[in-house]
């Protein structure tokens, strides 16, 4: 029995599914999750001493690679001053000023502890600001696990949201409407039916929770236009894309300005940090300045701020990193395409900058329905092979691959060779 197997046996006795977040359990590909002891650069190391080239990067934060020296140093320094005070601190001001300087659509920002909390708070704020209750989300997009957003995928444009989890009362989802990603007409339909009741549209500007689905030309611009027409707010959930596609996120990359933006992952540099921000006139409604209540014991925690400030400062200082990541990704996915073409395996490859996904389908993947055509069994077999050969991929077809500055050409080549072994041997 491996150490990971032994740990997993213990884990399932005392933790639901043996993990603290479902996707880590390897449920959709089978097998035992690897218990990771440490990470450095592009590598993970598990309890049994196996080394992996990591394409998860903690689900996004590790854009510089794991254990970045400057980030670790900033955290170590902050720890010496104490871990948490529950009081105002200078690092929070520095972080807020940094975010406002980087994202033109943001005049004010509130720090929280996760992407879920950021989205939950932004939705409450949008409802408080517009005095409307309904929100639109897109089937296949994931915005964290707050009740109102756990809506059955594809619950149809005509019906109110149907809960997609036990324990979520229909009252929590009845004001959540589902639309179809890259299909503006499904959004128009909702607004024609009840536009005056819709507080906001929330969208992943690049959908990265049904694999990776880029917005079609005009989609984000269309959402902006529709929201302006009906007086609803446009919320960009940039928990994944924020500081990933560029220092000013997807809104900078695509040139569409939301009213509110949510962040997570990179903003915390690997520590538990989320944030939401936007126009001053909206943000000034957040307590204690205004009547939309939101609070958090560890919000703006000084150690977490040190990690986030260090990471964002490095990214701000090196805008060339994004060009390098884009170039690396172009080459990597281009060669991947050649391997898959040679293999005769039905495939689709979507990528936007360093975010990418290999689907096992011959259908172009541009929305939830087409993403679902992927052969998840074929994906599971591929993923198990790659993990067993030292390439650590997200254990689900409907997640993203994340490249980092630590993924050298040599490591990408090594990964492609393993893929060639699997598909073409």
Q: Residue numbers of the site for ligand KE4 (CB under 6 A)?
A: 21, 23, 59, 114-116, 119, 142-144, 204, 209, 237, 239-240, 264, 274, 399
What is the C-alpha to C-alpha distance for residues 213 and 259, in angstroms, rounded to an integer? 22
Q: Are the CB atoms for 202 and 135 separated by under 8 Å?
A: yes
Q: Could you please report the per-residue DSSP string of 347-390? A: -EEEEETTEEEEES-SS---SHHHHTTS-HHHHHHHHHHHHHTT
- Per DSSP, 38 falls in state E
Residue linked to tokens 């400057």: 70
Q: Which is nearer to ligand KE4, 106 or 240 (CB)?
A: 240
Nearer residue to ligand KE4 within complex by CB, 148 or 340: 148
Smallest gap from Cβ 297 to ligand KE4, in A, equals 16
3-state DSSP call for residue 246?
coil
Instruction: Tell the smallest beta-carbon distance from residue 250 to ligand KE4 (Å).
Output: 11
CB 194 → ligand KE4: shortest distance, Å?
25
Question: Closest CB to ligand KE4 among 267 and 339?
Answer: 267
Please spell the DSSP secondary structure of 142-200, one letter per residue: ---S-GGG-B-TT--SSSPP-BSSTT--HHHHTTEEEE-TT-HHHHHHHHHHHGGGEEE
- Nearest-angstrom CA–CA distance, 355 and 72: 25
DSSP lists the bridge partners of residue 350 as: 357
Spacing of C-alpha 81 from chain mean position: 31
Contact between 302 and 85 under an 8 Å Cβ cutoff? The reply is yes
| Residue 409 phi, psi (nearest 5) | -55, -40
CB closer to ligand KE4 out of 33 and 339: 33
Q: Per 3-state DSSP, what percentage of the chain is helix, strand, and coil (rounded to 5)?
A: 45, 15, 40
d(Cα 237, Cα 261) in Å, to the nearest integer?
A: 6
Nearer Cβ to ligand KE4, position 240 or 305? Answer: 240
> Which position's Cβ is nearest ligand KE4?
115
Half-sphere exposure of 415 (CA within 13 A, CB side): 25
* Contact call for residues 95 and 300 (beta carbons, < 8 A): yes
CB of 268 to ligand KE4, least distance (A): 9
Residues tagged active-site: 142, 237, 265
Q: Given the complex with ligand KE4, which of 92 and 399 has the nearer CB atom?
A: 399
**Sign (positive or negative) of CA dihedral 303, 306, 309, 313:** negative
Q: Which is nearer to ligand KE4, 164 or 284 (CB)?
A: 164
Q: How far apart are CA 329 and CA 351, in angstroms?
A: 8
Contact yes or no for 238/261 (Cβ under 8 A): yes
Shortest distance, CB of residue 41 to ligand KE4, whole angstroms?
A: 21
Task: Compute the least distance from the CB of residue 117 to ligand KE4, in Å.
Answer: 7
Beta carbons within 8 Å of 41's beta carbon, 6+ residues apart: 65, 66, 67, 406
Nearest distance in Å: CB 192, ligand KE4 = 27
Please name the residue that has the structure tokens 């690396």. 328
Determine the 3-state secondary structure of 104 from DSSP. Answer: coil
* Closest approach of ligand KE4 to the CB of residue 173, in Å: 17
Residue among 116 and 350 whose Cβ is closer to ligand KE4: 116
């Amino acid at each position: 029995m491996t150490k990971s197997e032994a740990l997993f046996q213990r884990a399932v006795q005392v933790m639901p599914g043996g993990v603290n977040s479902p996707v880590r359990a390897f449920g959709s590909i089978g097998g035992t999750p690897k218990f990771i002891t440490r990470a450095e650069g592009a590598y993970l190391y598990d309890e049994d001493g196996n080394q992996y080239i990591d394409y998860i990067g903690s689900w996004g934060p590790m854009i510089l690679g794991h254990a970045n020296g400057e980030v670790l140093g900033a955290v170590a320094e902050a720890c010496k001053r104490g871990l948490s005070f529950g009081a105002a601190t200078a690092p929070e001001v520095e972080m807020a000023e940094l975010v406002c300087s980087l994202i033109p659509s943001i005049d004010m920002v509130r720090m929280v502890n996760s992407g879920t909390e950021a989205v939950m708070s932004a939705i409450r704020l949008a409802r408080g600001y517009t005095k409307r209750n309904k929100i639109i989300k897109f089937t296949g997009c994931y915005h964290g696990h707050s009740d109102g957003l756990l809506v059955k995928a594809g619950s149809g444009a005509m019906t109110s949201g149907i809960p997609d989890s036990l324990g979520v009362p229909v009252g929590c989802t009845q004001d959540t409407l589902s639309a179809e990603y890259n299909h503006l007409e499904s959004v128009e339909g909702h607004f024609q039916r009840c536009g005056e009741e819709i507080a906001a549209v929330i969208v992943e500007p690049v959908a990265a929770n049904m694999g990776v689905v880029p917005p079609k030309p005009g989609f984000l611009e269309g959402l902006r236009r529709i929201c302006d027409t009906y007086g609803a707010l446009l919320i960009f959930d940039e928990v994944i894309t924020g500081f990933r596609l560029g220092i000013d996120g997807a809104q900078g990359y695509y040139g569409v300005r939301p009213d509110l933006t949510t962040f997570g992952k990179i903003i915390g540099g690997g520590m538990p940090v989320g944030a939401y921000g936007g126009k001053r006139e909206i943000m000034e409604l957040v307590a204690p300045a205004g009547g939309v209540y939101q609070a958090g014991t560890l919000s703006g925690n000084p150690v977490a701020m040190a990690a986030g400030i260090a990471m964002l400062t490095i990214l701000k200082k090196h805008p060339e990193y994004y060009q390098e990541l884009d170039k690396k990704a172009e080459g990597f996915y281009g060669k991947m395409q050649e391997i898959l073409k040679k293999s005769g395996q039905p495939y689709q490859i979507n990528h936007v900058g360093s975010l990418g996904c290999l689907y096992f389908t011959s259908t172009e993947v541009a929305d939830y329905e087409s993403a679902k055509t992927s052969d998840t069994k074929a994906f599971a077999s591929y993923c198990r092979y790659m993990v067993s050969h030292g390439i650590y991929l997200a254990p689900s077809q409907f997640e993203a691959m994340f490249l980092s500055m630590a993924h050298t050409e040599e490591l990408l080549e090594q990964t492609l060779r393993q893929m060639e072994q699997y598909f073409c041997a």
